[in-house]
Structures are given as C-alpha cells and as structure tokens.
Chains A and B, each alone.
Chain A
Amino acid sequence: MITHEPEYFDPPLNLFAAVGRRVLLACRNTGRALIMIAEAFMHIRSVFSRRSRHEALYQLFFTGIKSLGVITVVAMFTGMILALQTGLELRRFGQEVNIGTAVTVTMLREMGPFMTALIVAASVGSAIAAQLGTMVVSEEIAALELMSVNPVRFLVMPRLVGLMVMMPILTVYTNIIGIVGGAVVGYTQLGVSLQAYFDNATRFAENKDLYVGLFKAFVFGVIIATVACHQGFATTGGALGVGRATRRTVVVSFLTILVIGYMITRLFYA
C-alpha cells in the first residue's frame, strides 16, 4: 500500500531521542523506497500492456524532451571548460593535442553521466515529486488504491522506464556535445586542429569508458526515479509539503548520485 496513515509523534524528550527518531525514520523510509522500486521493476513486464503503454510512452517523451535545452548548454560548456583547463596545463609541455583524450575520457566516464543526472534530477525528478505529491495531497492516490489501481504499476513503473531508458540516451547526447565543445575550444583557443583532436580522442578512449558511463547513467536514472517517486508519495501537509518533497528530491538525488557514482568508478577502475 502506498497511502500511509498520517503520522503523529509527541515532541522528542531530548536531543538524543530526536536524533534517534530521525535515524530510525530515515532507515524505514529507505526501506519503503527500495520495496517500492523493486515492485516497480516487477511490473515492467506489463509495460506494453494496453493499460500501461500510453503512459510509458508519454513518460519517455517527457523525460527526453524536458531537459534537452539545458543539457545542450551544460554539456557544451562542460566540454569547453575541460578542454581549456587541461589544454592550458598541457600547453606548458607542448602536449595540447592530448586534450582530445582528456576531454573524451572525462566526458565518457564521469562528466557525461554526472552532468546529465544532475540536470534530469533537477528538472524531471522534481517535476515527478511535485506531481505525485500533489496527487497525495488531493487524495488522488487514495482514490486510485480504492479503485484497485496499483499506484506503483500505474505511476511509478512508467516513470522508472522513462528515466531508465532516457538517461543513457541523454548521456550519449551530452557526451557528443561535450566532445564537440572541447574540439571547438581546442581549435579556436589552443590551435589544435579538428583532425588531430578527433584522432587523439579515438586513439586513447576505450569502449569500456563508454560502457561504464552508460551503466552509470542507467543507475542514476533508477536513483532519480526511486527518490522522486518515494518523496512524492511521502508528501504530507498540503501545498507546503509538495514544496518540501520537491526540494528533498533534488537534494537527496544529488547526494546519492555523487556517492554511487564514486562507488561505480571505484568498482571498475580500481
């Protein structure tokens, strides 16, 4: 069941009790979120059913389009900054042609998935939390459950699919734009020809870099879906609560993405 009874706690007796309660609630909420997302994965097999495909398609579209503009700008400048920073250092050794590799590898492994995830969390994730939160507050979720429409299948699963599929695709896009941005800076500021830049890039970047990056993007998509849907469903206290859920979604997904991103890099490269 997704609708929970309103909770009420007496004010804590002391600091110790207050901290303890927070920790316990955080553990319980993490558990709830994980159970919810596990259930959503189980429902993925019905994604093409008559009851779900329309919503799933819409979420794919929405997730893909919603942040495309911002992603383009951010990706462009990430590539440009990377090229400029490393290029200026490398120039001291006459090695500026190597910015091709530097930019490409950094984009593929780290910056591509990371930047994409941050932007998607802030735009799509917050929108999901706001929408689900509003539905909780206006009793729409309760109404769905009473109609025996499972909110996890009906609402979470399509959003999970949207994020899971679109995050890697958007990341490829970010990578391409970033690498092109790097090439532009290399050409205009550092005097590296486009030919040399792309030669250098393709010579040293490995397929593994791309795959690990895309795997990261996929995991980040799942994280954003989990955090956003859980925060949305956990909304209490009217319109104010919806604002709170949105803010928490952004903060919690940023932190989780950072930590899990580090762990994945650690797993594959150390």
Chain B
Amino acid sequence: MIRFQRVTKHLGGKLVLDKVSFEIEKGETFIIVGVSGAGKSVTLKHMVRLLTPEEGRVMVGDDVVSEARGADLERIRSRFGVLFQSAALLQWLKVGDNVGLPLHQRTDLSPDEIDRRVREVLEMVRLEDVFEKYPADLSGGMQKRVGLARAIIMNPEIILYDEPTSGLDPVTSRTIDHLIDRLRRELGVTSVVVTHDLHSALAIGTRIAMLDGGKIVEIASPREFVKSRNPVVQSFLESQYITRKGAWEAA
C-alpha cells in the first residue's frame, strides 16, 4: 500500500532519513517508534508529500506520491486522513466546525447532515460535549482527539497518526487504541501510527518499525519485536519495561 524506496532526506543541513526502505501492506496497523528527533514525523510527512525525498521515492498504491502534483496529488491525498502531532485545529472555528470542515468544504451535504456526522465521530473519540467550544478552551489531549475525529470523518482508506495518545490518560489512550483497531477490523483501514507508547504499539500493531540514526534498525511483528536483539530496541523496551510491566506481559 505504502512503499518507501531508498528514501533520503536532509533537513536543516542534517541527514534525517538515510536510504530508508520499507513497505506497508493494505489493512496493516504499522507502528513507527524511535527516540525524539529520529525522523518519525518526517517519515509520515513523506507519505502525503508535505516533504519530498532528495533520492528514492514514495509509492502509495500504484502512484508515486513523491512526484505527484496538482490534481493527481489531490486525489492521492484524499485517500488519507492525517492526525498531526500538533493537532492543527483552526483556532477561530468551534470544535464542531473544525471537525466538519472537510465535509463542509468538499461535499454538498446539508448543515444538518454534517452536524449529525460530526457528533457521530466526536462520540467515537469520547468527546460528546465540546461541540460548541473553541480549541483553545480544550486540553492538549482533547484537542488531539478532535484532530483525530477530523482525520476520520471522510472515511479515509489510510490514516496517519502522529502520537495519537501522547498527553492522554491511560484510560482514554486505550479508547483510542480500540478505535484504531476497530477501524482496521471493520473498515479495513490501513493505519500508520507513530507512538512512544509501548503498550499501544504491542496491542494494536501488526508490525513495529524502529527508526534510529536515519535508518530502520528493526522491523518485526510485536511478538518478535520484544525478542529483538538489537541494542536500540532493547534499550527502548527496557525504558518502558520499568513503567509498563503490564504491557510487557501482555505481549
């Protein structure tokens, strides 16, 4: 579904991705982990051509997204729903209008239908009573969930999540995990999830990739991932083992 072919990228004069290659299958929940600054967000941005590689290419289905322009690019992008790390809500629109914006701008649904659909997705992310509020009046975690609601409202085939559960309490985090998993099982959505949360990664991932030093140092199913001998993976696991003993055993 999504294929990176020897993608190389410099940002700010620094090598961020160094000939990265991997492939994500249709219907997968692909997890990307790595230390802060490893290039996880950069990898996601390549999938929708917010960044373009200097070398190599990025394919989505049969399209080369890294070279697409104009209407072609728009068509490819319309297959995606994206949750940004910063939530990226429009500050001057109420939550309901933010979530409904794609419907309002791209479909001819009536205001009532949009309203109904917006309430439906807000319910999916456990936010029923914020419809009339402004983003600035919500907590970081709530904004993140509004962003998630906006990402899924157009029923995209592929959803990119940049740290969907960061800043959320464990209970809400599990709700989000269930939501991601449910979208995969019921609608066959392909998901790419960047996370620092080992519990989520093991619970919902079909495969986990570890990004370090501009390369993918490990890529494996959750079961194999926890047994990896790679030192970077081991230190990542160990750091979480202390705080997330339960997760370890669940795996």
Contacts and interface: CB of A to CB of B under 8 A. Distances in A.
B89 interface: yes
A147 B50 CA distance: 12
A140 B13 contact: no
A135 interface: yes
| Max chain B Cβ within 10 angstroms of own Cβ: one of A6, A140, A147 | A147
A154 B106 CA distance: 12
A3 B85 CA distance: 17
Nearest to A137: B86
A252 interface: no
B162 to A, nearest CB: 10
Interface in B67-120: 74, 77-78, 80, 82, 84-86, 88-91, 101-102, 104-106
Contact of A5 (B52, B77, B104): B52
Main secondary structure of the interface of B (DSSP, over half): loop
A3 B50 contact: yes
Contact of A148 (B10, B74, B84, B88): B74
Nearest to B78: A148
Interface residues of B, number: 27
B187 interface: no
B48 A8 contact: no
B242 interface: no
B123 to A, nearest CB: 21
Contacts of A148: 74, 77-78, 102, 105-106
Interface residues of A, number: 20
B138 interface: no
A149 interface: yes
A144 B105 CA distance: 10
Given A5-B52, A140-B89, A142-B88, A147 B11 contact: no
Nearest to B104: A51
A143 interface: yes
B34 to A, nearest CB: 20
Cβ-closest 3 pairs across A and B:
A143-B88, A139-B88, A147-B102
20 contacts: A5-B52, A6-B11, A6-B12, A8-B11, A8-B13, A10-B13, A51-B104, A134-B91, A139-B84, A140-B88, A140-B89, A145-B50, A146-B48, A147-B102, A147-B154, A148-B74, A148-B106, A149-B105, A149-B106, A154-B105
